[in-house]
């Protein structure tokens, strides 16, 4: 059957009431109606109806609505019904409604990227605030506002493997936005339980995946070409910027992702490597028409495409919500005879094999000194690690004879035993001092 139906209409299909969200056409010209359930048992459930296959699909006409009397005191039921419907109205303006209600202490400057993005026809922005200012939180605020406007049903987050768990945790604990982690094993598991011609990226609506996983498999590229997302987030976006003439796989993947979604959010604390062409490649992902010449462009050309602030720029907001600055005093302390002896040993340390390369030898002895200033245990661990390295690679060292390596091993072994005695003597002294203090 063929009827004229538009988004916003209510239809009766399969003995249930549905609210039409969108109407589209298939490649064969058949009409596809995407709707969400309104009836009690199907409320919130999203479905797609192929109009040609539905035997009965009726549009509920507003003029046929049957009015009933409200018997509740002061019309409380009617007021509650009206209020509930008002809550379901999708905001059409650029005001912030829920971004500041996350499980965190929201700072004023963190709301600015959301306000800027909501003024755009398509939310495509680079959030490039300095480390520690909360780029992930700012991203979550924007995503929560888009979900409220029903523009965030399908979300894809692309990040480095080491950041997956942290990003997933922040989105869930702060904004209750669940992200399902995907890797090659999970994708293979999904493919094993779905039809052969089905796209595994349609199995979950909100996912997070490593960029290295996506770039490696050609089959994933084919699946991505036939998928569409409401929001795509690329974390650590400086990794996908173009560097010189050689375009990396990450850059090619990011270019492909940029056209698969109306909303694109890039996150990076270091978006600019000093080359205008590299930064321009990120801006072109957001808006290909913004920059005419990648070698010559100004801030005005890309002003609304990125947000870049440092702590000094938002210090006023930070100061109002931070604990008072601690009063730090430097206290000088005389080194003990044992500590002076350690410094003398480190200063006179000569490693034949390492000291041939003066730069490397100086660096290693500086590392020993820094680790000792941290703790004697740390210095001993550094020496032990160097001993293991020399034992493992002594036959592979170039330009250093085996006798020189063995001499270095002997020197470091003596140094390690010296630190072992130093640590034990200090521990014994500490115990004796503790006992005398307790007795008094």
pLDDT attached to residue 127: 96
3 vs 61: CA distance, rounded Å: 13
In the three-class reduction of DSSP (H, G, I as helix; E, B as strand; rest coil), residue 382 is classed as: helix
Fold exhibited by the domain 1-89: SH3 type barrels. (2.30.30)
Report whether CATH 1.10.645.10 matches the domain 99-320.
no
Residues 6+ apart with CB under 8 A from 106: 99, 100, 141
Q: pLDDT for 155-186, tens place per residue? A: 999 999 999 999 999 999 999 999 999 998 99
Indicate the domain borders of the chain.
1-89, 99-320, 337-439
The structure tokens listed for 330 are 């430097």
Low-confidence ranges of the chain (pLDDT < 50): 355, 399-400, 402, 427-440
Residues 6+ apart with CB under 8 A from 280: 291, 294, 297
- With beta carbons less than 8 A apart as the criterion, state whether 262 and 117 touch: no
Q: For residue 233, report the phi and psi dihedrals to the nearest 5 degrees.
A: -120, 125
**Same fold: 1-89 with 99-320:** no
- With beta carbons less than 8 A apart as the criterion, state whether 400 and 387 touch: no
């Amino acid at each position: 059957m063929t009827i004229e139906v538009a988004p916003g209409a209510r239809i009766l299909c399969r003995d249930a009431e549905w609210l039409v969200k969108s109407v589209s056409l298939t490649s064969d010209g058949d009409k596809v109606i995407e709707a969400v359930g309104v009836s009690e048992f199907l409320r919130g459930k999203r479905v797609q109806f192929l109009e040609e296959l539905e035997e009965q699909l009726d549009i509920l006409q507003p003029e046929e609505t049957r009015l009933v009397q409200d018997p509740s005191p002061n019309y409380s039921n009617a007021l509650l019904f009206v209020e509930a419907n008002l809550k379901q109205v999708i905001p059409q303006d650029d005001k912030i409604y829920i971004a500041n209600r996350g499980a965190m202490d929201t700072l004023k400057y963190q709301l600015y990227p959301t306000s800027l993005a909501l003024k755009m026809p398509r939310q495509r922005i680079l959030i490039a605030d300095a480390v520690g200012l909360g780029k992930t939180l700012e991203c979550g605020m924007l995503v929560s506002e888009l979900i409220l406007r029903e523009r965030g049903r399908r979300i894809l987050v692309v990040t480095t493997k080491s950041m997956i768990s942290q990003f997933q945790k922040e989105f869930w604990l702060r904004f209750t936005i669940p992200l399902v982690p995907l890797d090659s094993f999970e994708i293979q598991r999904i493919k094993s339980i779905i039809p052969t011609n089905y796209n595994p990226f349609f199995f979950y609506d909100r996912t997070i995946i490593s960029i290295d996983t996506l770039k490696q498999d050609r089959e994933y590229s084919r699946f991505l070409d036939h998928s569409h997302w409401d929001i795509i987030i690329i974390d650590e976006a400086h990794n996908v910027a173009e560097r010189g003439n050689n375009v990396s796989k990450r850059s090619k993947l990011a270019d492909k992702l940029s056209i698969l979604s109306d909303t694109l959010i890039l996150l990076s604390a270091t978006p600019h490597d000093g080359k205008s062409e590299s930064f321009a490649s990120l801006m072109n992902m957001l808006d290909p028409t913004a920059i005419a010449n990648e070698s010559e462009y100004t801030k005005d050309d890309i002003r609304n495409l990125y947000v870049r602030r440092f702590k000094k720029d938002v210090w006023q907001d930070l100061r109002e919500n931070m604990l008072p600055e601690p009063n730090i005093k430097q206290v000088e302390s005389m080194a003990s005879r044992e500590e002076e002896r350690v410094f003398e040993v480190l200063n006179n340390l000569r490693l034949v094999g390492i000291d041939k390369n003066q730069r490397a030898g100086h660096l290693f002895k500086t590392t020993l000194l820094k680790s000792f200033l941290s703790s004697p245990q740390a210095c001993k661990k550094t020496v032990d690690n160097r001993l293991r390295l020399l034992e493992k690679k002594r036959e592979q060292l170039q330009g250093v004879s085996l006798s020189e390596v063995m001499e270095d091993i002997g020197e470091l072994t003596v140094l390690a035993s010296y630190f072992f005695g130093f640590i034990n003597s200090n521990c014994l002294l500490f115990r004796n001092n503790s006992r005398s203090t307790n007795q008094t």
